[in-house]
Amino acid sequence: MLFYLLNSTVQLSDFSINTLPYMLNHEVNRMKKVKNIILLIGDGMGFSYTTGLRYFNHDSRLGLMNPTLFDQYFVGTQSTYSLDAKSNITDSAAAGTALATGYKTYNGALGLNIEKQTVPSILEYAKFRGKSTGLVGTSQINHATLAAFATHRESREKYNEIADDYLDERINGKHKIDVMLGGGTSYFSRNDRNLVEEFIKNGFGYVTNSIELLADRNEKLLGLFAPMELPKHIDRYSTTVPSLSQMTNAALKRLQQNQNGFFLLVEGSQIDWAGHDNDIVGAMSELKDFEAAFNVAIQFALNREDTIVVATADHSTGGMSIDRNGNYKWNPSVIRSIKSTPAVIAAELHKTKELSRITRHMHLSLHLEDLKAIQSTLEMEVEDTRQALIDIINHYSSTGWTTKGHTGEDVPIYAYGINRHKFSGRMENSDIARILFEMID
């Protein structure tokens, strides 16, 4: 499939059909067009994570494991490598750009091809076609994967500038993004610029907790629920921080009001962050949160003939293995017995200096040497305690890891709805965007 840019210096203020990535393929006319696209990205969610979820959901030692929600919609796999001159393992920016634009690129790039030329995203094309658009995530909403769909920067590290772009850039005179839900207050309410006030002046609603989210009736909405990233799902003891599924549902309620349809991107951002930490408790918690959001998308698309739902990952993280050291027994019951992430447990232990409080969070019988190891870290840094807890949990659950970085294996694709078959088999990550470009109505 030939994919090319007719005008590589696209100006978003003058977005036109001549700047779009175009496909010249006789199959295009035979593909059914779709009104609504819901794309979900589990950041860092390789096969070991989704396989681990099947074990995690299985309560008994005996009997066949039931499929997860993901299993029911599995269609194919995609390759994640970037075109970086120094690395063939992608970062989230390069992978996000490939999934958003159809162009593989260098690590760190947002919405640019390998020559650092601006390339339009599927979100931008949807807006050009008169559709509503949304970004939902558990990281700050100007983080790499989400930003790759809505801005064009040589470096993903330009967080303030990315936030500015969300407000400043227009397509056909309209705001590029209609609904934004996630973290990142510190980037939107700054000393040099208060984007929150500007969004409100531009007709957006603004909410900061789940109660306000439920009560708000604005069609255009900015929701920021934490200064940076949201707490891990397992650590959201308060109902004031919405889950990923709640944010997804809130976005869909607004976006579907547009008779021309919509594009919605939902990111399970912190599956990746748990992988970087080798934190299996956080990983399974975030994966369950992402699975629930996927279910919201599936339920929306059921019995509709105008919607496609695609869920995939940008890469895998951590080299997670289900079992380690030849034990031949992974123990997800250990993970289920822990009620907070190691980071939260470590912070409380350092605050109270009372090791006995560990039982509030870990319903696990620890050996004396484990307790001594944790106790010894209380005179060190919180990070030392957190790492000790991670090591102990990985040991008891028999979870293995090979790295604290990204890994290069293929990742799964799940799909439901019209044109689902187009994502079957093995493809490049950039092919997903190209197919979405072809089918958008």
Catalytic residues: 92
Evaluate whether 160 touches 292 at the Cβ level (below 8 Å): no
Q: How far apart are CA 50 and CA 311, in angstroms?
A: 12
Residue 72, strand partner residues: none
Residue 140, strand partner residues: 183
Q: How far apart are CA 212 and CA 290, in angstroms?
A: 22
190 burial (CB, 10 Å; 0-12 / 13-18 / 19+) is middle
HEC states along 58-73? CCCCCCCCCCCCCHHH
Phi, psi angle pair for 270, to nearest 5°:
-95, 5
Q: What residues contact residue 29 under an 8 Å CB cut-off, 6+ apart?
A: none
Q: How far apart are CA 232 and CA 78, in angstroms?
A: 27
Evaluate whether 407 touches 89 at the Cβ level (below 8 Å): yes
Q: How far apart are CA 320 and CA 398, in angstroms?
A: 11
Evaluate whether 89 touches 317 at the Cβ level (below 8 Å): no
Look at the chain and count its residues. Answer: 441
The pairing of beta strand 74-79 with beta strand 411-417: antiparallel
